């Protein structure tokens, strides 16, 4: 079983994907972490994330970078959004994601183009969304928990800007895949969102 989970930043797709992977005993890949690693590598290289050549060079990042906690920072998230607009970067990471998805037994992948580009044939496709305000509040609380002091309105502006870039990019724009089931988590807490996602997956599997 392949489960594709897409959605904008801080929508809850990562939490839901990890929970689905645990519930169905499937391997999980946070594909956004790959783009965050590219964005971080550009910064380490002293490059420009808006330059396609610098961004492509950064796709050769070492695997050790994937466990660096700085990848979860807001700054790195912004860099990830900027490098992801380059078609050459997306192509460079495509096979890595595709191989993970097609492993025997299936997998859960979350990102922004899993159901539209990486595995459009996924048996279950979810699109997780929420209002900009609720997503900003979640990210702000996360930052507070990590003792990172950043104004809520700054996070809200950053999320709105990243949404605009992701939706408007010509290559693999952020959108719900055909046949994807929409889950709005604006009014849901973690447990409610996970329970609803599991219900949706079970229902879709029962239809097959």
pLDDT of 41-75, one tens digit each? 999 999 999 999 999 999 999 989 998 999 988 88
Averaged over 15-41, what is the pLDDT? 96
Residue 67 lies in a domain: yes
What's the rounded Cα separation, in Å, for the pair 108 and 1? 8
For position 73, what pLDDT does the model report?
86
Least Cα distance to 177 among 124, 107, 141 occurs for 124
**pLDDT score for 185:** 96
Is it the case that residue 208 has pLDDT exceeding 90?
no
Q: What pLDDT is stored for residue 142 in this prediction?
A: 87
**Distances in whole angstroms, Cα of residue 108 to Cα of each of 38, 41, 76, 89, 194:** 21, 26, 23, 22, 14
Predicted TM-score (pTM) of this structure: 0.84
Residue 207: inside a domain: no
pLDDT at 123 over 80: yes
Range of the domain at 35: 2-202
Let me know if residue 143 belongs to a domain.
yes
Q: Is residue 180 part of a domain?
A: yes
Contact 12, 190 (CB under 8 A): yes
Is residue 63 assigned to a domain? yes
Indicate whether 54 belongs to any domain. Answer: yes
Question: Looking at residue 88, what is its pLDDT?
Answer: 93
Do residues 43 and 83 make contact, with C-beta atoms less than 8 angstroms apart? no
pLDDT over 90 at 95, yes or no: no
The pLDDT score that the predictor gives to residue 146 is 82
Give the tens place of pLDDT for each residue, 135-176.
999 999 988 888 888 899 999 999 999 899 889 888 788 899
Count CA within 13 A, CB hemisphere, residue 187: 0
pLDDT of residue 206: 86
Cβ pair 29, 206 in contact under 8 A: no
pLDDT above 90 for 200: yes
**Average pLDDT taken over every residue of the chain:** 93
Q: Is residue 103 part of a domain?
A: yes
Kindly indicate the confidence band of residue 39, based on its pLDDT and cuts at 50, 70 and 90: very high
How many distinct structural domains can be found in the chain?
Answer: 1
The answer to whether position 25 is within a domain reads yes
Mean pLDDT of 98-106: 94
Q: What is the mean pLDDT of residues 103-128?
A: 95
Q: What pLDDT was estimated at residue 80?
A: 92
CATH number at residue 176: 3.40.50.300
């Amino acid at each position: 079983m392949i489960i594709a989970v897409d959605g904008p930043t801080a929508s809850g797709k990562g939490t839901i994907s990890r929970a689905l992977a645990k519930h169905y005993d499937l391997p999980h890949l946070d594909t956004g972490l790959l783009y965050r690693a590219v964005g971080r590598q550009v910064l380490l290289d002293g490059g420009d994330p808006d330059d396609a050549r610098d961004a492509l060079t950064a796709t050769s990042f070492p695997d050790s970078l994937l466990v660096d906690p700085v990848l979860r920072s807001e700054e790195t998230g912004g860099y990830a959004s900027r490098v992801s607009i380059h078609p050459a970067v997306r192509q460079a990471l495509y096979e890595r994601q595709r191989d993970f998805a097609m492993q025997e037994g299936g997998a859960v992948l979350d990102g922004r183009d899993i159901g539209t580009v990486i595995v459009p044939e996924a048996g279950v496709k979810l699109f997780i969304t929420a209002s900009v305000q609720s997503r900003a509040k979640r990210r702000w609380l996360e930052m507070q928990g990590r003792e990172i002091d950043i104004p809520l309105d700054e996070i809200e502006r950053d999320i709105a800007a990243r949404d605009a870039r992701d939706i408007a990019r010509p290559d693999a724009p952020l959108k719900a895949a055909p046949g994807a089931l929409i889950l709005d988590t604006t009014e849901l807490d973690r447990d409610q969102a996970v329970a609803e996602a599991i219900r949706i997956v079970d229902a879709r599997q029962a239809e097959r």
